[in-house]
Amino acid sequence: MDNNIDNWESLPTQEVEKDLDTNIETGLTDKQVEARLSKYGKNVLPQGKVRPWYITFLLALVEPLQIILMIAAVISVLAPRIGDWHQPVHASDFIDFIVIIAIVVIDAVLETVQTVKARKSVDSLKTLSKPRAVVMRDGKQMEIDAADLVPGDIVLIEAGRFIPAELRILESSEFTVDESILTGESLPVNKNANPIKPTTILADKTNICFMNTFAVNGRAVGVVIKTGEETEIGKIAATINANTDTKTPLEKKLTKFSYWISVFAVLIAVVIFVSLYFTGEKNAWSNYLMVAITLAIGVIPESLAAVVSITLSFSTKRLAEENVIVKKLASVETLGSVNVICTDKTGTLTQNRMTVQKVITDNKVVDAKEYVNLANNFEKDIFKKLLLLPNDAVTEGEERIGDPTELALVDFAEKMGADEQEYRKKFKRIDELPFDSERKLMTTVNKDGKNNIICVKGAIDELLKVCDRILLDNKVQHLDEKMKKEILKESGSLSKNALRVLGFAYSDEQKKKDYEKNLIFVGAVGMIDPVRDSAVKAVKEAHDAGIRVVMITGDHPTTALAIAKDLDIAYTEYEVMTSATLEKLNDQQLLRVIDNIKVFARVNPEHKVRIVQALQAKGNITSMTGDGVNDAPSLSIADIGVAMGITGTDVAKQAADVILTDDNFLTMMKGVNEGRNVWQKIRRTIVFLLGINIANVLGILIISLINHTSPLEATDILWINLVVESLLAISMGMGPNDDSLMSLPPIKGNNGLLKGLLWPIIKISTILAGCLIGAFYVGMLATPDNLLTINKDQFVAGSTILGDGPSHQFDSWKELLKCNEFIRNSDAKINAIVYGRTAMFIVATLSPAIIAHIIRLSNWKSYKRVEFSINKSLLVASIIAVVLNTLILFIPGLNDTVFSLVGDKSWTSSNCWVIFMAIGFAFAAPALILLTDAIVFFGYHYAINPWERNRKMVSDLVRKDQAQEKAAKKKNKQKRTI
């Protein structure tokens, strides 16, 4: 047998039988089946490899930011020992190491848990059971597991069954197949055994049935030509499995940020060490190196990785409650970055359910809803019979079997109070003329009491040819040529709007050969797979958010454009491109025109991939939304693939990054909103962490250069960076969402994490650094005389400043700090600045608890009123931080021994003002930040200079004109529809 043929559709039946070495009448023998199973394998789709949870965990540990943090953790242990490796090791020396490693592990655990949870959620959405197939083998008909099919098997198919493999039709009877999951074609395709010219368009292969599509009407006999991975759906599944995971935009930005912050930290360390070395005591170089490394580590936002993971984890939890399953944490932010949404039509934007929209009755077009509400009369009673009697669709409960067009007629009749089952029992069918492609009519003869009624439906142009009367105003009247032209004109207007028109007529009993003669025309219906109401709202939200929506469908251009008009996606045929045109364009030509195309019609799966790749090549962050097998390759290649959870195929769900469990396109916009908020929360956290860290470094560096000693100890810096800031930063990601972000343009894919953040970081760091320095020097005014008396053993041997005395009394703390005759590692300077250190520590720990609440990066420029929302998690974290810092200040041993602050017994009525002064500086920093923001806000909205005012006025006029033009287009579209 030859199974390498590509153009099976062009071969005659006898040649197909010969090439496959099979027998149409008796099928394969058991021996042939066994040999072919051994050669071709099982008829199953290839499965992608599932990554074990521990591999996911290990990969999360080797992200760039995590590696930097682990290096910092090791340095935090080694730095204090530089120059003195023999000092004893204490458990307290590993506190910072433990905290940093804990943050890294927590981040990896969150990533692993979310990935495993998402995988389980996806598995639970798989609802299709194992398909079965009816075959002929050794001359016997039997039902087998579809996985056991082999090329050459003869398969019998009837309505209601899934196609178990790729088949070439050998015989058929009124056989139609729903191929929407593969081709995107919303209407069933008629299948027959006639050879056709070779074609690459799957939707045009009218004698081939594709695996996993669905038979909706009639019966057929086919021969298996391909199984498993060789089928069209198998090729798609294999392509998806071969695709390697690519980094999301957030992951790329975090990696880039990690490199930059590492370089910045190294530069900080070098600058600090060099500055201290050349301005201070040369023999204290190891102390300076330790300070430099400690501050360099302090610049690195250690909690950022945890903040990102926890923020994303909370977002995925919120999205799960909103029917959005996110398979990978970082995909949430990608949703917020999307600026082009490519979407399938059938089942995504539309309901994937043909519905009657218009009715032609009494020679006029009325809306279907209006017709349903009309009073019952003779014409309406006849019309209900015509909808249900010449109809083979079966509906019972949730089960719906039959042609979608006939199912739509049943649904419409039921809206008018007619029950399909009762009508068919009451008006039994006694004869029929089945539909065929030449007559384009279907006729049934049904018992109607003592008489019979002939019910005819079909193409309206063919139906009018056999009608000589018409039912008008409940009376039968003569149907002349002028009336026929008017009806055809009304029908044509519906067809132009992509509605499928079916006409209906009836007659009293006649001879069989005259069933379709001298009929009475009753009316017609126009039906279409209608857009979802939620999709209209979703597209509007997308446009308002600056997101372009592109429809990609296997449907015909006319149908696609009609749906696009209803959704306000496209308005003219110039915005529609077919696959035939697409194939004629090379990549460069496609890039030149793709920005002007809103609808791609009649496309194959490979075309969808090419379209997505072209959009990505233009610098867009592209989302692909779909439910069918034909969508899977593009779902996989897009920056973010979004699959439907109910109607979506398993292949589509496997390829996607996000799954909508309610099949609602509007739900995706909730994901976009969440993604934008995730991005904003991460950016706010970066501003907070870098602003506070740089402020601390600046304050410590400036004071160290002036006084030749660090104002804060390593333990103080560690507490500020890893406990206070981390506690606040993590809770910042748990706050409520800001819906105003949906009125901003999408984030550009090439924007780094620091894009637009330099000013707020500089603002916070400079203001807070000034307050830290101010608090230190004001606090030093409380230094008592006993701290200015230095014992002999704290000076270098032969010190000239001592004379012969056992100690030396300095006149001021400034004079003490300028003295260079202390021995190395002396506690003299540490003790002398304890009041300044305490004041600075209070500001460094209290001020961030306030600043965290006032960082605004939202869309304040678009509104003259700034709304503040309360982040309850951040409020609780701030209270905890304040309480912890208060305990540190007043718990004996903890304040002076561990943190080198003023001991609880040292506070008196004469120096306690330092605490209140420091609190004042702590509040001064956020107050100055708010004042700066208020000045900028006022200047933008209320003090615009003439040039900016004119520009704003022109922008407002342009937006107004665009809104009016859009409204006019919509109004014209509605007129054309009517």
- DSSP assignment, residue 28? B
Residue 169 three-state SS: strand
**Is the C-alpha dihedral spanning 157, 160, 165, 169 positive or negative?**
positive
Q: How far apart are CA 402 and CA 394, in angstroms?
A: 6
Contacts of 184 (CB under 8 A, 6+ apart): 203, 344, 345, 346, 552, 553, 554, 555, 603, 628, 630, 631
Question: Do residues 843 and 787 touch, judged by C-beta distance below 8 A?
Answer: no
**Helices 533-544 and 665-707, interaxial angle, to 10°?**
30
Burial class of residue 908, CB neighbours in 10 A (0-12, 13-18, 19+): exposed
Distances (CA, A) of 770 to 366, 766, 776, 931: 74, 6, 10, 15
Helix (H), strand (E) at residue 624: strand 622-626
Question: Do residues 692 and 926 touch, judged by C-beta distance below 8 A?
Answer: no
Residue 899 three-state SS: coil
**Which of 178, 344, 650, 663 is an active site residue?**
344
Residue 364 three-state SS: strand
Distances (CA, A) of 950 to 83, 142, 229, 945: 66, 81, 63, 9
Instruction: Please give the single-letter amino acid code of residue 238.
Output: A
Distances (CA, A) of 287 to 86, 145, 283, 322, 397: 15, 76, 9, 55, 81
HEC profile of 455-483 = EEEECHHHHHHCEEEEEECCEEEECCHHH
Instruction: Please give the single-letter amino acid code of residue 798.
Output: G
Helix (H), strand (E) at residue 342: strand 340-343
Question: Do residues 182 and 233 touch, judged by C-beta distance below 8 A?
Answer: yes
DSSP letter string, 483-534? HHHHHHHHHHHHHHTTPEEEEEEEEE---GGGTTSSEEEEEEEEEE-PBPHH
| Other beta carbons less than 10 A from residue 579's beta carbon | 21
Give me the numbers of helices (H) and strands (E) for the chain, helices first please: 34, 28
344 given a catalytic annotation:
yes
- DSSP assignment, residue 385? H
Q: How far apart are CA 734 and CA 852, in angstroms?
A: 13
Contacts of 936 (CB under 8 A, 6+ apart): none
Helix (H), strand (E) at residue 436: none
**Is the C-alpha dihedral spanning 252, 254, 258, 260 positive or negative?**
positive
Q: How far apart are CA 345 and CA 554, in angstroms?
A: 8
- Beta-strand (E) ranges in 29-128? none
Question: Do residues 846 and 838 touch, judged by C-beta distance below 8 A?
Answer: no
Instruction: Please give the single-letter amino acid code of residue 18.
Output: K
Q: How far apart are CA 745 and CA 627, in angstroms?
A: 28
Distances (CA, A) of 692 to 264, 444, 697, 926: 15, 82, 9, 12
Q: Cα Rg for the chain, rounded, in angstroms?
A: 38
Q: How far apart are CA 862 and CA 718, in angstroms?
A: 40
Q: Which residues are catalytic?
A: 344
